[in-house]
Amino acid sequence: MEIENEIRIVFPAKSCNEAMARMTAAVVASQLDPSAAEIIDIKTAVSEAVTNCIVHAYKDDIGKIEMTCRILKGSIFYIKIKDSGCGIQDIKKAMEPLFTTAPDEERAGLGFAVMESFMDSVRVTGGPGKGTCVVMKKRILPRTYRQAGCERNGSDNANERTEQ
């Protein structure tokens, strides 16, 4: 897809940076004139992805998180959140609701499920020793559709799961 605009930021995997990542994504997405609900969806999905990096990717270390936000042709908002941490042993298993690698920390294991519920597509790649890359997309409905009360086409909501 053709990129209309893009921003990339790299920041330390610290809890204090999660809000900054949420706000950065929201500001970039605002170019598409999203509804308040669409902004909340994006911010929630970004929070989950960044928190996964902070909690799981680097364990007791503070590594780097790279976030890319793009505006794609066709009113698509694209977000990539990538770390160079320990990676995920079994991506398919990790994406199952309630699965967590940190049960002692009272983690619910719902991060990927939350991302999938708020975004139109979620793709997770990586592996042990390779880090993890989460790519999410959301089509932002034009204001004229929202004002007319139009609904999304069901096919736009299909989540895609990819593992490597």
Q: Phi and psi (nearest 5°) for 50?
A: -70, -40
Say which range, 36-50, 84-98, 114-128, has the weakest mean pLDDT: 84-98
**Residue 139, CB-side half-sphere exposure with 13 Å CA sphere:** 17
Assigned fold of 3-157: Heat Shock Protein 90 (3.30.565)
pTM above 0.85, yes or no: no
Question: Would you state the pLDDT for residue 154?
Answer: 43
Supply the residues annotated as catalytic: 48, 52, 107
Question: Would you state the pLDDT for residue 144?
Answer: 61
Residue 20 has pLDDT above 60, yes or no: yes
Q: How confident is the model at residue 23 (pLDDT cuts 50, 70, 90)?
A: very high
